[in-house]
């Protein structure tokens, strides 16, 4: 399938180092993304017709940047988005993740499951916001959006 990401780079230049938990989430999200994803760019005369694509995620001047290039490295598009629409859901996700990490260390499985369900709900909301913000620029399925949202959280939260 050509409408997919084959490489993901996180440009965290100038950002605080992620916590060990967030670094682990980053690694898992990238592995899962590369294993299976759907990333479609609409036709445009100035770019290759279809992927596969390489993606670099960054934060520049407090804006989220998606830099997309072809398999061979030819630029295919760069999208700059305000972090504003993501702020609350990223904050909520960070808080529920911390609760989840704490729960795993101290609570019985039934209570961990409750926290994990809340975490998944907030994660789905973040994925929905990302899909809305990328409308007309790139089309993603729910799982791809969820994993990219995880990477946005790692970039936004740093340490």
Q: Which of 36, 32, 31 is nearest to 52 (CA)?
A: 36
- This model's pTM is above 0.75: yes
Q: Which of 53, 18, 60 is nearest to 33 (CA)?
A: 53
Where in the sequence is the domain holding 52, given as residue range(s)?
5-157
Number of domains in the chain: 1
Which residue in the block uniquely carries the two structure tokens 């017709």? 49
User: How is residue 136 written in tokens?
Assistant: 């007309």
Whether residue 130 is predicted with pLDDT greater than 50 in this model: the reply is yes
Name the burial class of residue 83, with classes exposed (0-12), middle (13-18) and buried (19+) by CB atoms within 10 angstroms of its CB: middle
pLDDT per residue as tens digits for the range 83-122: 888 889 999 988 988 888 888 889 888 888 888 899 899 9
């Amino acid at each position: 399938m050509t409408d997919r990401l084959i490489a993901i780079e996180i440009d965290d230049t100038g950002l605080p180092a992620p916590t060990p938990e967030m670094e682990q989430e980053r690694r898992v999200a990238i592995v899962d993304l590369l294993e299976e994803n759907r990333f479609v760019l609409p036709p445009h005369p100035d770019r290759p017709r279809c992927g596969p694509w390489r993606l670099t995620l960054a934060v520049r001047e407090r804006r989220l940047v998606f830099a997309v290039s072809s398999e061979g490295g030819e630029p295919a598009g760069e999208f700059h988005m305000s972090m504003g629409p993501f702020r609350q859901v990223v904050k909520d996700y960070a808080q529920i993740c911390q609760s989840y990490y704490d729960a795993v260390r101290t609570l019985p499985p039934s209570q961990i499951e409750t926290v994990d369900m809340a975490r998944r709900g907030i994660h789905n909301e973040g994925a929905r916001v990302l899909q809305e913000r990328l409308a007309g620029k790139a089309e993603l399925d729910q799982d791809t959006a969820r994993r990219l949202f995880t990477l946005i959280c790692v970039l936004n939260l740093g340490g």
